[in-house]
Structure 1
Amino acid sequence: MADLYSTLGVKRDSDEAAIKKAYRKLAKELHPDRNRDNPAASEKFAKVTQAYDILTDKDKRARYDRGEIDEDGNPKGFNFGGGAGGAGAGGPGGYGRGPQGGFGGEEVDLSEVFEGLFGGGAQRRGGFGGFGGFGGRRAPPPQKGADTVYRLAVPFEDAATLKEQRVTLQGGKTVSIKLPKGVEEGAKIRLAGQGQQGGAGNGDAIVTIAITPHRFYTREGDNIRLDLPISLDEAVLGGKVKVPTVDGPVMVSIPAGSSSGKTLRLKGKGFTGKSGVRGDQLVTLMIEIPADDPELAGFIQSWSRKGKGNPRAGLGV
């Protein structure tokens, strides 16, 4: 299996920003939605996503760099081979008998030691004859297949309303995913049995959620904030205006005499929290003044001469 750094095309000492930049470039090229007729691209997409998830996790990256886990994020196996110099059991430098044997030249039966370490079952046939790793070698127990990792971009509105998503897995299979209540950036969803095949069953698919930023909504806990432009006459006289929400546009009443910065609350138009209750949408009014309007400028000059007072008097200026 390729080294995780070479999979992403970055150096081993690359910082997180460089790793993210490399992943975004590859993910855009290899995404299954853009390569429906190219299974190899889907497989490579899964590998670069798995490399990204490990290398952007500080703990996992450190363990990988120390050689403690492999490219799938699984602990590396324990290799019970020969002793120093590669000698096996019974040979020079090994565990059997002989002038270099490591036990003072005596013949030592280690079967009892290994029974204690590995759960017994060794038949004593003059040394290691019955121990599973030597002599009558037993096959290792079947292992479950490795997990596969995916990164799913979810539109802001879909995350807020928990709209069902579709993800294409390795091999081209497409499955539906229900977003959990209180879903946040980086949330992980486990799809049992959708990973790689193994003797003891399939591994799982781990889907990491990436919520796409919105061009005018922002999230604040379970609430959604929106700056709403309104005209001067709407601010002065009030009236009903159409306001966008993640559920679709709604009509909202603007109170007469509203100033920029006034915030209106639309109940239940935010994100669905972990309790199942939705937050609100907070709408901040922003008055837009037209530029180069002679009629408006003339009216304001006439109006200001009537001595309307200093709006900054409360600030002491």
Structure 2
Amino acid sequence: MADPYATLGVPKSASEKDIKSAYRKLAKELHPDRNKDNPKAAERFSEVTRAYDLLSDAQKRAAYDRGEIDAEGNPANPFAGMGRGGGFGGGGFRPEDLRGQNPFGGGGFGGEADGVDLGDLFEGLFGGGGARSARGGMGGGPFGGGFSGQQRRPPPPQKGGDIAYKLRVPFVDAATRKDQRITLADGKTIDLKLPAGLEDGTQMRLKGKGQHGPGGAGDGIVTISVDRHPFFRREGQDVRLDLPITLAEAVCGGKVKVPTVDGPVMLTIKPGTSGGTVMRLGGKGFSRKDGKRGDQLVTLEIDLPDDVTELAKRLEGWQDDRNPRGKLGV
């Protein structure tokens, strides 16, 4: 990905407010719902969202400015920390933890293997019983001692190490559980089915998609992060949206088009609807673990025109004698 500052069109000295303002403007222009016949706009929208995700995080932004991570949020030196389980950088979806296996346990090779009992080693060398005879006296056997000839089975061969992947999922794809294509360490691609109950930070295990070893391949561990959205917000398994309506729509009522993660729908507004009213669209949220979906909660906001001169003329001579703040004690 290109420099995130250049992607958003802001200087490196830009404030958080400037970055947020630039992102809102670009997201509004490039949103896929407004550019259904322009796939490049969708790609650009994703780039803008990734750039904002990095620069809106103070720690990530500082790390990027110091050159410690790249525009994708990966370590600038892809080989840093290999002895501690560090990963490889790269674009898209990539391995970040190529851990080897140490057959003798401990951290020498960065792996996670069971320790080996030294008694087992002696028994493997001398045909069994060696370690016990050293503690309990000499028994039968070819040496007149404790090598009884009883032999244990050798430990099973070790599996290959796991490989860690990071997968960024667009907000709408996460809500609708759209299949995600990822590239594995061996260069092959697979379509990943997102699970019900998906959360930011959810991990998925891909059996046999890790490193190869004498006992078989390890697994791939995919950690999912859900991207932000310019106007949808997640609240548990529900999706929230602030919907602007005109004063005429609030007073007279009518049907208005509302965006949802499943596409636009028509919403009926009753005459005399006040700003701040919350309306519920069932089944338009994120999936719960049982597969059922949450709802979309739409908060209506009355949006007045920038120039209210004509509106003021129409209201001239009309007076609302109510005190809408009376219930607040003022």
| TM-score, length of structure 1 as denominator length | 0.63
Q: 1:29 to 1:313 in 2, by over 3 A?
A: closer
Question: What CA distance in whole angstroms lies between the structure 1 residues aligned with 2:302 and 2:92?
Answer: 50
Q: Secondary structure of the residue that 1:302 maps to in structure 2? A: coil
Q: State which of 146, 153, 175 in structure 2 corresponds to 1:160.
A: 175
Counterpart residue number, 1:7: none
- 2:239 — aligned with what? 224
TM-superposed CA distance for 1:293, in Å, is: 2.4
Q: Counterpart of 2:255?
A: 240
- Number of matched pairs: 239
1:50 Cα deviation (Å)?
3.1
Distance 1:237 1:115 in 2: 95
Shift of 1:144: 0.3
Q: Quote how far apart the aligned CAs of 1:115 are.
A: 10
State the alpha-carbon separation in 2 of the partners of residues 141 and 75 from structure 1.
Answer: 12
Q: Distance in 2 between matches of 1:250 and 1:150?
A: 36
Which structure 2 residue ranges, 5 or more long, are not aligned? 1-57, 76-87, 100-104, 123-128
What amino acid maps onto 1:314 in structure 2?
K
Query: Counterpart of 1:50?
Result: 97
* Distance (whole Å) between structure 2 residues aligned to residue 215 and residue 315 of structure 1: 33
Higher Cα Rg, which structure: 1
C-alpha separation in 2, matches of 1:311 and 1:280: 30
Aligned to 2:69: 25
Question: What is the CA–CA distance in structure 2 between the aligned matches of 1:285 and 1:44, rounded to whole Å?
Answer: 38
Q: Are 2:166 and 2:225, in contact at CA under 8 Å, matched by a contact in 1? A: yes
> 1:143/1:114 Cα in 2 relative to 1: closer, same or farther (>3 Å)?
farther
The SS at the match of 1:279 is: coil
Matched, 1:178 2:193: yes
C-alpha change, 1:111 and 1:252, in structure 2 (3 Å) is same
Q: Is the 8 A contact 2:93 2:182 kept in 1?
A: no
Distance 2:179 2:252 in 1: 42
Report the counterpart of residue 309 of structure 1 in structure 2: 322
Query: Does the 8 Å CA contact 1:149/1:206 hold for their aligned counterparts?
Result: yes
Amino acid at match of 2:244: P
Quickly say closer, same or farther: Cα 1:69–1:24, change in 2 above 3 A.
same
* Per-residue Cα deviation, 1:215-253 (whole angstroms, up to 9, x for no partner): 111111211110001111111111111100000001111
SS of the equivalent of 2:166 reads strand
Q: Distance in 2 between matches of 1:253 and 1:190?
A: 44
- Tell me the TM-score normalized by structure 2: 0.61
Specify the code of the residue in structure 2 equivalent to 1:74.
E
Q: What CA distance in whole angstroms lies between the structure 2 residues aligned with 1:166 and 1:232?
A: 45
Match of 1:111 in 2: 131
The corresponding residue for 1:287 is 302
How far has the Cα of 1:297 moved from its partner? 1.8
Q: 1:45 to 1:279 in 2, by over 3 A?
A: closer
Matching residue of 1:272: 287
Q: Give the counterpart of 1:211 among 198, 209, 226.
A: 226
Q: 1:227 touches 1:283 (CA, 8 Å); kept in 2?
A: yes
State how far apart, in whole Å, the 2-side matches of 1:187 and 1:264 are.
30
Measure how far apart 1:166 and its partner are. Answer: 0.9
Per the alignment, in what secondary structure is the counterpart of residue 28 of structure 1? coil
- CA offset at residue 139 of structure 1? 8.3
Residue aligning to 1:74 = 112
Identity, % of aligned positions = 48
- In the alignment, structure 1 segments of 5+ residues that lack a partner are 1-15, 32-39, 55-66, 81-88, 90-108, 117-122, 132-137
